[in-house]
């Protein structure tokens, strides 16, 4: 798939078939992620992957409960609360794989570097016919020291991009974009 086609055809996918994701697939996507640029080429990222639909489902419930109990402490807009409160709202959409892009350092630009790597990963997934969805709402729970300890992630690492991955049941329609706001500076 051409790069522009992958960019155009990527979607946030929220409905997955039960088909499993293999480790080799995740490794390929991570190889694409680490080709991303990073400030001073520091490559301050690490990756975590869970390929167990049942455990992902359990974490989805816990992340949701935590978020509802602590919503006011988060930076999320109140309007999101209703969406999360819906009994049918499942944080990780029953995906068979959960990937985390982690910042290993508190370097000033580590989070940006991880975001660029995350986009590479999502585009590489699209080129393989796989769907992804960035799950920002899970980040506060994933970044709790207790969650990182349970997942055996170093406490100093920051979860920047939680991304679910799987085989889409269908590809959603494009959401469309607002026209680009451009200021020509000369
Ligand atoms: C930083 C970030 C956080 C996001 N968090 C969530 C989320 O928690 N749950 C979700 O369903 N989608 C989430 N998304 C996906 C966006 O809602 C989606 O990309 C947007 O609606 C545009 O749709 P498209 O990706 O299909 O073009 C997130 C995307 C980004 C970049």
Position in ligand 1 atom list of the atom nearest CA 14: 11
What is the average pLDDT score of the chain? 97
pLDDT at residue 106 in the model: 85
CA of 12 to the centre of ligand 1 (A): 6
d(Cα 101, Cα 113) in Å, to the nearest integer? 10
In the structure encoding, which two tokens stand for residue 115, read together?
A: 């975001």
pLDDT at residue 70 in the model: 96
| Residue 6 binned pLDDT confidence (cut-offs 50, 70, 90) | very high
Position in ligand 1 atom list of the atom nearest CA 177: 27
> Per residue in 41-73, is it b (16+ CB within 10 Å) or e — as a string?
eeebbbbbbbbebeebbebbeebbebbeeeeee
Ligand 1 site, residue 164, Cβ cutoff 6 A: no
pLDDT higher than 90, residue 1: no
CA of 150 to the centre of ligand 1 (A): 26
CA 69 vs CA 74, 81, 83, 143, 161: distances in Å = 10, 10, 14, 16, 22
Q: What are the pLDDT digits (tens) for 105-146?
A: 889 999 999 999 999 999 999 999 999 999 999 999 999 999
Q: Which domains does the chain have, with CATH numbers?
A: 3-158 (3.40.109.10)
Ligand 1 site, residue 137, Cβ cutoff 6 A: yes
pLDDT higher than 90, residue 173: yes
pLDDT at residue 98 in the model: 98
């Amino acid at each position: 798939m051409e790069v522009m086609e992958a960019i155009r055809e990527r979607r946030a996918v929220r409905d997955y078939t039960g088909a499993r994701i293999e480790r080799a697939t995740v490794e390929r996507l991570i190889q694409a992620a680490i080709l991303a640029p990073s400030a001073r080429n520091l490559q301050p990222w690490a990756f975590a992957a869970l390929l167990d639909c049942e455990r992902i489902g359990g974490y989805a419930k816990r992340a949701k409960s935590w978020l509802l109990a602590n919503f006011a402490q988060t930076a999320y807009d109140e309007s999101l609360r209703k969406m999360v409160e819906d009994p049918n709202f499942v944080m990780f959409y029953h995906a068979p794989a959960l990937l985390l892009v982690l910042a290993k350092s508190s370097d000033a630009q580590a989070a940006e570097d991880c975001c660029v790597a995350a986009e590479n990963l999502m585009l590489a997934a699209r080129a393989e016919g796989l769907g992804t969805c960035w799950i920002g709402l899970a980040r506060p729970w994933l970044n709790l020291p207790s969650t990182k300890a349970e997942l055996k992630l170093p406490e100093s690492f920051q979860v920047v991009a939680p991304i679910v991955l799987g085989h889409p049941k269908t590809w959603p329609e494009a959401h469309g974009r607002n026209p680009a706001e451009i200021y020509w500076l000369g």
